[in-house]
Amino acid sequence: MTHTTSASHAPVDPAELARDPYTVYARLRQAGPVHRITGTDGLPAWLVTRYDDVREALADPRLSLDKHNAAPGGYRGMALPPALDANLLNMDPPDHTRIRRLVTRAFTPRRIERLREPIRRTADQLLDAVATAERVDLIASYAAPLPITVICDLLGIGPADRLDFRSWTDTLVAPDPTRPSLAKEAVGSMLSFLTRLIADKRAAPTDDLLSALIAVRDEEDRLSEDELMSLAFLILFAGYENTVHLIGNAVLTLLRHPDQLAELRADPTRISAAVEELARYDGPMPLAIRRFPTEDVTIGGVTVPAGETILLSLAAAHRDPHRFTDPDRFDIGRDATGHLALGHGIHYCLGAPLARMETGIALSALLDRFPDLALDVPPGELRWRPSMRSRGLLGLPVRTGTIKEATTAR
């Protein structure tokens, strides 16, 4: 028998979700697989909380990412011009299939692997800059500047433009509701910049991803101007925001679990497995990007009407005891295979190999340089981004303690 609701129409408290999301999601998961909620945008949505349902829904072709399939008045998202909105996170097949195929031809494993040494050098340079400070904010000094440098290197954006790019992205990631004009200005500035950048790359290509995307073809097919700009915007926005939060959350998790940190220090070769468990335990995206059913669908025995908003809770799924044993325990020895932090199905993250590499290098360099690294404030005093969709620290004050010289060749 199906149901049309399994919870009261209560607003979601962003402060509670920021403070202790996993307790909130555990309560909902235990109460039922799907809940009717009111999101922080004031609109109703259906929240899916159990691993099997979330994983299946991520790959369900009836659940559309195309905002045109939302019911009238049922979607309020970031207002982007078409030139920045024609990206993979707003598309279904066949457009999604065509563009992803073209991007895959340019965004190759070889191109990603070539970034390994530059990432290591950048990590060491950032740590050099804070090595003499007894106390430092790791978000501002390390977790944020590292990804923006990597993404700009990938796209071929020169150092002179990177501060502007980071400023625009920060404004869009955390818009000030009292000053909506700032987000609009950031969008306009980014659009103007990307228009000029693509024109420059087309006139004088260099060995970077954006030049490769301009040149890539599949027989007679190639990316349109709007698709190019939208992809550059998506790579920058997603590659920056998610990696900042993944690194920041990972450092905090390790510092709060000294036994696991000691195990990782004792055997640094376990860093890859640790990154997978860190992504599961406290990843940067509590929710997958919203979906809109193209027809009535039944999830966990609950029928969701066509066009309504479905939110798939990765955070709830990752703490589902039916999928992960003792899921609230952080364990770098756990087999975290099957976590959904980087997606599942046709929308699996194209940048997943880069995110894994970057996070592993960032953590290895940090832990090697500062063997006595410690939190500088009680965990309860840390401030989190007040968002349902993004799980990230606004700051991470630490004491650096003993300092070692960098071992990376420069």
**Residue 410 falls within a domain, yes or no?**
no
Q: For 203-252, how does the pLDDT look when each residue is reduced to its tens digit (9 = 90+)?
A: 999 999 999 999 997 667 888 888 899 998 888 888 888 999 999 999 99
Per-residue pLDDT tens digits for 283-330: 999 999 999 999 999 999 999 999 999 999 999 999 999 999 999 999
Q: Is residue 407 part of a domain?
A: no
Is residue 235 in a domain? yes
- Provide the domain limits for residue 173: 14-399
As separate numbers, helices (DSSP H) first and strands (DSSP E) second, the chain gives 17, 10
HSE, CB side, 13 Å, CA atoms: give it for residue 286: 24
Per-residue confidence (pLDDT) for residue 79, from 0 to 100 = 66
**pLDDT score of 408 more than 90:** no
Establish if 240 belongs to a structural domain. Answer: yes
236, 251, 282, 287, 343 from 21: Cα distances, Å? 27, 18, 10, 11, 20
| Nearest CA-CA partner of 243 in 88, 357, 331, 336 | 357
Give residue for tokens 């073209």: 102
Does the pLDDT of residue 91 top 90, yes or no? yes
Contact 124, 403 (CB under 8 A): no
Global pTM value = 0.92
Total number of domains constituting the chain: 1
- Looking at the domain assignment, is residue 41 inside a domain? yes
Q: Kindly tell me the burial class for residue 409, based on how many C-beta atoms sit within 10 Å of its own C-beta (0-12, 13-18, 19 or more).
A: exposed
CATH number, domain at 314?
Answer: 1.10.630.10
> What percent of the chain clears pLDDT 70, i.e. is strictly above it?
92
Supply the mean pLDDT for the chain.
Answer: 89
Q: Is residue 299 part of a domain?
A: yes
Q: Is residue 391 part of a domain?
A: yes
Looking at residue 59, what is its pLDDT? 96
DSSP 289: P
d(CA 150, CA 157): 10
User: Does residue 364 lie in a domain region?
Assistant: yes
